[in-house]
Copies of this chain bind each other. A is one copy, B any other.
Amino acid sequence: MQQELTKELYDRIKALIADQQESELRTAIEDFHPADIAEILDELSFDQAIYVIKLLDSELTSDILTELDEDIREKVLKNLSSKEIAEEIDELETDDAVDIIGELSELKKAEVISHIEDVEHAKDIVDLLRFDPDTAGGLMGKELVKVQENWTNLTCVKEMRRQASEYDRVHTIYVVDEHDVLKGRLSLKSLLTTSTHTPIKEVYNPKVRSVNIADQDEEIANIMQKYDLFVVPVVDEIGRLVGQITLDDIVDVIKDEAEKDYQLAAGLTDDVEADDSIWELTRARLPWLVLGLFGGMGAASIMGGFGDAFDSHPELFLFTPMIAAMGGNVGVQSSAIIVQALANGNLKGSLWTRLVKELSLSLINALVVSVLIYFFSHLIQGYQTQVSIVVALSLTVVIIVAALIGTFVPLFLNKRGIDPALATGPFITTSNDIFGIFIYFFIAKTMLGF
């Protein structure tokens, strides 16, 4: 049942394209899932891919379009006329249609919409285009099956037959009143197990969780995960059922969110992938490196200010990478825990209890590593007791300060409405490098008096 995407298959398809064996090519490709075909197209040159797309049925190519990588899709759409795009759009469900049209220029958008044949479909799409893509309105599809509460089971089945025949998948049967206000849902079970003359009013389940049209995607993701929902209805300001969001769309939100946090922690802005161009990757990476460089310049300037230490205690300079690295590591650990707790919405307790916990935690960690570094410095490297104490004591202070900064900064950013994930990674390591070096030399100067 499941065909494999092998190198042999790719070679065969490339050969068929070269020989322009149209019908054979069509049979070779047609039976794959659109997601697989998108993967096949990804392996072809751009001209080959366009050739294949123009060969296939628009019903199939429309689904392939939704599966393609955004940058390839952009190029493909540029090679299609507005009328051709409209034909693809005609085949798609509204939420997918909006995703694709949303990527076009304003001019092309209007042209494509004017070419859509099904007027109702075009209206729905225009409606949806108004919403911010990150809200319920932007995520939802208009396709759903709804029945009225004052119908009987029999009317319901008839009406559902009519509605369902238009859609690929029926997730839930919604129950609305005569003004389209969402009242509840009808389970397949009760539809199957009640007599045909029972009014829907008596058998529907009034417990249905809905989201508002303006709700943010992350909020919706949290609700769907918490309550294990496969689909959630969307209502407008006065409770009318206007669409539904399915879990597969939300999976993308959940993944994107997790990946974004990860990328920020690793010092990557923009949503980059390994296959992106060198220019895109540079734009995502270089700003963070320049930030790190400024941090390094700051650390160098601070150390320059304590330059007298070169004469009396040059060995102090051997420990600066260690001090900086430990401050950075602790800061990243602390901030990551906070960022993740904020993302999952399970951060409890006040700021103070949080800081006190972090303080005790970092004190334990600091004591262990400080004892280790003391032994290394004094016993293995043979530096003076006093110098070794300075190194160990500084390490303790640096770890505690780094932990508090790592805890406090993301909480502060979050309070101010800024993405706390910005505070992980290069930002926190760079600032902790500078603080760490300063604390270290300040303690050294105070205790050793150079």
Q: Which residues of A contact B (CB under 8 A)?
A: 1-2, 33, 35, 42, 157, 160-161, 164-165, 167, 169-171, 187-189, 192-193, 206-210, 225-230, 246-248, 251, 254-255, 258-259, 261-263, 265-268, 272-275, 278, 281-282, 285-286, 288-290, 292-293, 295-297, 299-301, 303-304, 307, 310, 314-315, 317-326, 328-330, 332-333, 335-338, 340-341, 344, 346-348, 354, 357, 360-361, 364-365, 368-369, 372-373, 376, 381, 399, 424-426, 429-430, 433, 437
Q: Which of B288, B321, B337, B429 contacts A333 (CB 8 A)?
A: B288
Q: Which of B33, B273, B326, B376 contacts A337 (CB 8 A)?
A: B273
Q: Which of B265, B323, B347, B357 contacts A262 (CB 8 A)?
A: B265
Closest 5 CB pairs of A and B: A296-B322, A266-B336, A258-B258, A274-B341, A317-B317
Query: Quick check: A1 and B208 within 8 Å, CB to CB?
Result: yes
Q: What are 20 contact pairs spanning A and B, CB under 8 A?
A: A1-B208, A1-B209, A2-B210, A42-B348, A161-B193, A165-B193, A171-B230, A230-B247, A251-B254, A254-B255, A273-B340, A274-B347, A286-B369, A296-B322, A296-B326, A304-B315, A320-B321, A324-B325, A325-B328, A328-B429
How far, in Å, is A352 (CB) from chain B's closest CB? 14
Query: Quick check: A340 and B274 within 8 Å, CB to CB?
Result: yes
Complex formed: what's the CA distance from A357 to B42 in Å? 19
Query: Quick check: B262 and A340 within 8 Å, CB to CB?
Result: yes
Complex formed: what's the CA distance from A361 to B268 in Å? 14
Residues of chain B within 8 A of A337, CB atoms compared: 266, 268, 272-274, 281
Q: Which of B189, B267, B300 contacts A318 (CB 8 A)?
A: B300
Among A206, A332, A424, A425, the most chain B Cβ lie within 10 Å of the Cβ of: A332
Query: Quick check: B332 and A267 within 8 Å, CB to CB?
Result: yes
Known: A304-B381, A325-B296, A340-B273. Is A251-B261 also a contact (CB below 8 A)?
no
Among A225, A337, A338, A376, the most chain B Cβ lie within 10 Å of the Cβ of: A337
Residues of chain B within 8 A of A426, CB atoms compared: 329
**A167-B189, A268-B333, A310-B310 given; 9 more Cβ-contact pairs under 8 Å:** A1-B209, A33-B227, A42-B348, A164-B188, A258-B259, A267-B329, A286-B369, A293-B326, A317-B317
> How many copies of this chain sit in the oligomeric assembly?
2
Query: Quick check: B326 and A328 within 8 Å, CB to CB?
Result: no
Residues of chain B within 8 A of A333, CB atoms compared: 266-268, 285, 288-289
Complex formed: what's the CA distance from A322 to B228 in Å? 48
Query: Quick check: A314 and B318 within 8 Å, CB to CB?
Result: no
Complex formed: what's the CA distance from A265 to B329 in Å? 10
Query: Quick check: A381 and B300 within 8 Å, CB to CB?
Result: yes
Complex formed: what's the CA distance from A361 to B426 in Å? 19
Known: A258-B258, A326-B296. Is A189-B164 also a contact (CB below 8 A)?
yes
Among A254, A265, A341, A344, the most chain B Cβ lie within 10 Å of the Cβ of: A265
Query: Quick check: A193 and B207 within 8 Å, CB to CB?
Result: no
**Which residue of chain B is the closest to A291 with respect to CB atoms?**
B329
Residues of chain B within 8 A of A261, CB atoms compared: 262
Residues of chain B within 8 A of A429, CB atoms compared: 325, 328-329
Query: Quick check: A303 and B318 within 8 Å, CB to CB?
Result: yes
**Which residue of chain B is the closest to A249 with respect to CB atoms?**
B228
Complex formed: what's the CA distance from A133 to B310 in Å? 59
